[in-house]
A = this chain, B = another copy of it.
Amino acid sequence: MSKKATIYDIAKELKITAATVSRALNNNPKISEKTRDLVLATAEKLNYKQNRLAVALKSGKSNNVGVVVPFINKNFFASVIRGIEEELYPKGFHVIISQTHEENDREKKIIQNLINAQVDGILVSTSFTNENKNQLHQVLKKSSPFIFFDRVLHFDDISTVTIDDYQGGFDATEHLINQGCKRIAHFNVNQNIELYNNRFKGYKDALSKHGVAYNSDYVITLKSDMEAGKEAAEKLMNLPVPPDAIFSSTDNGLLGAVKYLQSIAVKIPEDFCVVGFSNEPFTQFLEPSISSVDQSPVEMGKMAAKVFLEQIESNQDVKIHKDVVLPAKLIIRKSSSKHK
């Protein structure tokens, strides 16, 4: 691949200053039409591509970046958005947020709409799954750049930023086994969403590594809310042999389970251990405090923003595809600490 042409190459060719070339390319009225035409012709000859970020900033136009999430009122997504803003705001980009409520049709419309509003990029945590991902791809192809974060789909032309959900699920389950738990239940949210499936795989592999039998009665798929968690826990405790621990892919579901267990006087962690996922703020201040897997949401947001900036700073015809995986961190609190 030959070296990319710069404004210096154009300046050299025309024996003018780089500043003049820059002004000409940005339609500065101080530059004569003749010079401007010369610069443009030379730029074309040398196959020069303007850096889109630089153009956007110099043109002084407002730059919007769309962020699309299932819900804004989960601490996780709010924190990712904070990370995105921390990275993009100092560079002059405004973040506009939309929530899909996990409705695929709405997600498509929202994205189409952001494209129509001519945003400079869209960062999406999608509710589409592998089963219907092509429906979404049709919309995405019309615009660039696009970045998926957290809830991702894999397409050759779209970068992703995730955490290591598999390792998070594995570590949480192994920790429960190390606490002496023998019958570990699992709350799954949606098997068709890759990240939940990865946590589930981590759970199964940890059981298998330690020779703990997998019991499908102990795996419940539920909505990520308190009420669903209560019902699921009730179902588990009414089994002939109830479990002695839960690794939950949802902190909100686990909260309902904890409330149910407390209502029937099951002692946590003495009789029953629990570990959640997401490290929602309430997990810290509940009594007992709840162990959970932290997803480094602010870092995830910053990383997604950085991948976006790299794309916009590159030439339009250079395709960057990146899959960034950040570590998942198990935070151990009282709810799974049998041994001091």
A261 at the interface (CB under 8 A from B): no
* Contact in complex: A62, B112 (CB < 8 Å): yes
The smallest beta-carbon distance between A287 and chain B, in angstroms, is 6
Interface string of A100-123 (1 = CB under 8 A from B): 010000100110111011100000
Among the listed B72, B94, B286, which residue makes an inter-chain contact with A109, where contact means beta carbons less than 8 Å apart? B94
* Contact in complex: B96, A97 (CB < 8 Å): yes
Interface residues of A in 114-165 (CB under 8 A from B): 114, 116-118
* Contact in complex: B94, A72 (CB < 8 Å): no
Interface string of A61-98 (1 = CB under 8 A from B): 11010100001110100110110010001000011111
Q: In the complex, which residue of chain B has the Cβ closest to the Cβ of A76?
A: B73
A259 at the interface (CB under 8 A from B): yes
Complex interface: chain B residues within 8 A of A118 (CB): 117
How many of A's residues come within 8 Å of B, CB to CB?
37
Complex interface: chain B residues within 8 A of A85 (CB): 99, 101
* Contact in complex: A78, B89 (CB < 8 Å): no
| A113 touching B62 in the complex, CB below 8 Å, given contacts A95-B98, A98-B96 | yes
A255 at the interface (CB under 8 A from B): yes
* Contact in complex: B73, A79 (CB < 8 Å): yes
* Contact in complex: B287, A287 (CB < 8 Å): yes
* Contact in complex: A106, B89 (CB < 8 Å): yes
* Contact in complex: B97, A285 (CB < 8 Å): no
Q: In the complex, which residue of chain B has the Cβ closest to the Cβ of A75?
A: B73
Bound: A106/B94 CA distance, A: 9
* Contact in complex: B78, A285 (CB < 8 Å): no
Interface string of A222-258 (1 = CB under 8 A from B): 0000100000000000000000000000000001000
Residues of chain A whose beta carbon lies under 8 Å from any beta carbon of chain B? 61-62, 64, 66, 71-73, 75, 78-79, 81-82, 85, 89, 94-99, 101, 106, 109-110, 112-114, 116-118, 226, 255, 259, 282, 285-287
- 14 of the cross-chain contacts (CB-CB < 8 Å) are A61-B116, A62-B117, A64-B113, A72-B73, A72-B81, A72-B97, A73-B75, A73-B78, A73-B79, A85-B101, A89-B106, A95-B98, A282-B282, A287-B287
Since A71-B78, A72-B97, A73-B79 are in contact, a sample of 11 more A-B pairs with Cβ atoms closer than 8 Å, ordered by chain A residue number, is: A62-B112, A64-B117, A72-B72, A72-B73, A73-B78, A85-B99, A89-B106, A96-B98, A97-B99, A282-B282, A287-B287
